[in-house]
Amino acid sequence: MSILPLYFDPGTGALVAQALAAVGAGVLLFYKRIKYGLQSFFGKKQDEGLMGDIDIEENKDEGNNK
Amino acid sequence: MKGLWAISILKKIRMKETTNRHSSSFRDPSGFIFLEDDVLLRQVNPVYFQQYRSLTDTGFYKKLFDAGLLVTHNEVSASKDSIVLQPECIPFFSYPYEWSFSQYKHAALHTLKLQKYCLKNGYTLKDATAFNITFHKGKPLFADSLSFDVYTEGEPWRAYKQFLMHFLAPLVLAKYYGNDMLKLLQQYIDGIPLQKAAKLLPFTARFNPVVYTNIFLTAKYDAKFSNEKPENSKSIKLSKQSQEKILDSLYSYINGLELKENTEWKDYYAITNYDTQAFDYKKGLVRKWFESINAKKAVDLGGNDGTFSRVLEDIAEELLVADIDPNAVNHNYLQVLQNKESNIIPLVSDLLNPAPGIGFNNTERLPLQERIRKSNYDVSLALALIHHISLTGNVPFAMSAEMFASLTPYLIIEFPDREDSWVDFLLKSKREFASYFDYYNRENFENDYAAYFEVVQKEQLPNTHRTMYLLKRK
């Protein structure tokens, strides 16, 4: 399937910068994971807040059908 | 004969593309929305057929509907020239410059959530404008069914820059400079240019790695490659895992963003000048009158954090609660989330300067008053508002009456007399100009409003200098 043309300019620079942003994000998430790991080891629960987590829970029925 | 028939069909399509086409829907060639017999429909153009079929056949549209991420739709017709969808009706469409901080944050998180879910299922968002999000049933909702494309392994997120310009830049600016920054999209309808955002942000903003990479670095690269041939961008690759890391880090950063700015609103109701009895009486009156006119939908103007609208929550279908104070609106939205309230829409709006029509021909994004009128609300609430409009805004009674009458057939309005301590305070703050407001009294109010409304009910609030009116448009 062909990629659709965009009605706006995605910006070549912004596409290049994503690779750098991903490296930064990788380092950050690595340290966050260690931090949360340590916190949960000492019994602190992570508060998801009112807006929830980024990951969508898949249809719960699937689990029941197994 | 056949030729004539084809020409007439073509003419019909062209007509639809111009006369019935919704004035906000022209940017994306994938399709457009239009009105037919007062029903809002979405046309899918042949250029998007492949994507549309894929999204339908793989069941991904259904998954998005089930997860509450995308506005639902039904296919009503299909031909070789167009597929027509009927999307779920969204009674009131709010714009980014009318959202409080938490709403803006939630809309950004919703977009990131959607993109991550798309990637997981082999799709990608090709478009991440904040105007694709609105608030419906107590949460953000993505309203454009044609913003998806099939994901090709290794392609970077093409809507990344758009996301930064529409969501991250205003939110980070608001973190440093306050709520007003969230109104920037009213000026920058295509999002805040990243170079501009980088210039405006304080030097210390660079110390946050998410802000540094996503705004400062992206702005730098964006400027550096601005003269590059677009073909070169095709060779740029980014793994899906890397893109997911960006989405995760942006999500975590935005979710943790806080805005600390004091506004007028701070325990507003704790400093009211009347007692609990009058407060409860007023609540009872609002509910009684709302029921007496068989109202279903109300717009609460100057509705603060929704305290009075919540009196109607169990009997109203929809409550639009607008207020000038972004912190009050923010508090309202947090309550909506906390209590999972599905019929309250909080909105930041200054009645003395409501959102105008902007964009191409000033009709791409509609004025607030027009959207309220089109949504057919039954009644407006204007509680503890008229003295602000009249005394702070210098708006004569006749003009405010005309404005209210243009919005809804009924009006519940509270009039505080000159003896009321708030009115007294406002009058005193006018200093030598105070005599200009000698007209401010109940008699003049009633006379001027009588040109537009008839009084259905009128009651004095006990132990106060305030009168409540239920008015019907003439």
List pLDDT tens digits, range B26-77: 778 888 888 888 889 999 999 999 999 999 999 999 999 999 999 999 999 9
Half-sphere exposure at residue B195, Cβ-oriented, CA atoms within 13 angstroms: 9
SS3 content of chain B, % helix, strand, coil (to 5): 50, 20, 35
Q: Do A56 and B109 touch (CB under 8 A)?
A: no
Contact predicate B168/B214, CB 8 Å: yes
Q: Is the pLDDT of residue A49 over 90?
A: no
> What pLDDT is stored for residue B28 in this prediction?
83
How confident is residue A39, by pLDDT bands cut at 50, 70 and 90? confident
Q: For B248, which residue in chain A has the nearest alpha carbon?
A: A54
The first and second tokens of residue B296, run together, are 């279903």
> What pLDDT is stored for residue B129 in this prediction?
96
Strand partners, B43: B32, B84
Helix H or strand E segment including B363: none
Q: Distance between terminal CA atoms of chain B?
A: 54
**Residue showing tokens 């009213």:** B186
Distance from CA of B354 to the nearest CA of A (A): 28
Cross-chain CB nearest to A4 (options B109, B149, B224): B149
Cα B56 to its chain centre, rounded Å, is 29
Q: Cβ contacts (< 8 Å) between B252 and chain A: which residues?
A: 29, 32
CA–CA dist B203, B418 (Å, integer): 50
Most A CBs within 10 Å, among B162, B218, B229, to test the A interface: B218
CB crowding B52-74: b at 16 or more within 10 Å, else e:
bebbeeeebbebbeeebbbbbbe
| Stretches in chain B below the pLDDT threshold 50 | 1-2, 6, 9-10
Q: Which residues contact B86 (CB under 8 A, 6 or more apart)?
A: B39, B40, B41, B42, B73, B74, B76
Mapped onto helix, strand or coil, the DSSP state of residue B137 is: coil
Cross-chain CB nearest to B158 (options A6, A13, A51): A6
Q: Do B223 and A55 touch (CB under 8 A)?
A: no
Cross-chain CB nearest to A13 (options B54, B109, B226): B226
Give me the total of CB pairs closer than 8 Å, taking one residue from chain A and one from chain B.
151
Higher pLDDT, A2 or B121: B121
Mapped onto helix, strand or coil, the DSSP state of residue B392 is: helix
Q: Cβ contacts (< 8 Å) between B228 and chain A: which residues?
A: 12-13
Q: Cβ contacts (< 8 Å) between B113 and chain A: which residues?
A: 54-56
Q: Cβ contacts (< 8 Å) between A3 and chain B: which residues?
A: 149-150, 152, 155
Higher pLDDT, A16 or B53: B53
CA-to-CA separations, B346 to B138, B369, B380, in angstroms, rounded: 9, 15, 15
Distance from CA of A25 to the nearest CA of B (A): 6
> What pLDDT is stored for residue A12 in this prediction?
86
The first and second tokens of residue A49, run together, are 């807040």
Smallest CA-to-CA distance from B267 within B223, B322, B328 is with: B328
Q: What sign for the dihedral angle of Cα B448, B449, B452, B454?
A: negative
Q: With 0.90 as the threshold, say if the pTM is over it.
A: yes
DSSP for B30-75, written as a single string = TEEEEEETTEEEEEEPGGGHHHHHHHHHTTHHHHHHHTT-B--EEE
> What pLDDT is stored for residue B266 in this prediction?
63
Distance from CA of B317 to the nearest CA of A (A): 24
CA–CA dist B312, B318 (Å, integer): 9
Q: Is the pLDDT of residue A64 over 70?
A: no
Q: For B220, which residue in chain A has the nearest alpha carbon?
A: A13
DSSP secondary-structure letter at B179? G
Q: Cβ contacts (< 8 Å) between B130 and chain A: which residues?
A: none
Q: Do B28 and A7 touch (CB under 8 A)?
A: yes
> What pLDDT is stored for residue A65 in this prediction?
39
- Give the type of residue at B360: F
Q: Do B242 and A22 touch (CB under 8 A)?
A: yes
Q: Do B156 and A18 touch (CB under 8 A)?
A: yes
Distance from CA of B308 to the nearest CA of A (A): 23
Q: What sign for the dihedral angle of Cα B61, B65, B71, B75?
A: positive
> What pLDDT is stored for residue A59 in this prediction?
58
CA–CA dist B437, B163 (Å, integer): 48
Q: For B139, which residue in chain A has the nearest alpha carbon?
A: A51
Distance from CA of A45 to the nearest CA of B (A): 16
Q: For B338, which residue in chain A has the nearest alpha carbon?
A: A50
Q: Is the pLDDT of residue A61 over 50?
A: no
Q: Cβ contacts (< 8 Å) between A10 and chain B: which residues?
A: 158-162, 233
ipTM of the complex: 0.80
Q: Do B248 and A12 touch (CB under 8 A)?
A: no
Contact predicate B89/B40, CB 8 Å: yes
Cross-chain CB nearest to A54 (options B243, B251, B338): B251
> What pLDDT is stored for residue B234 in this prediction?
73
Q: Do B156 and A12 touch (CB under 8 A)?
A: no
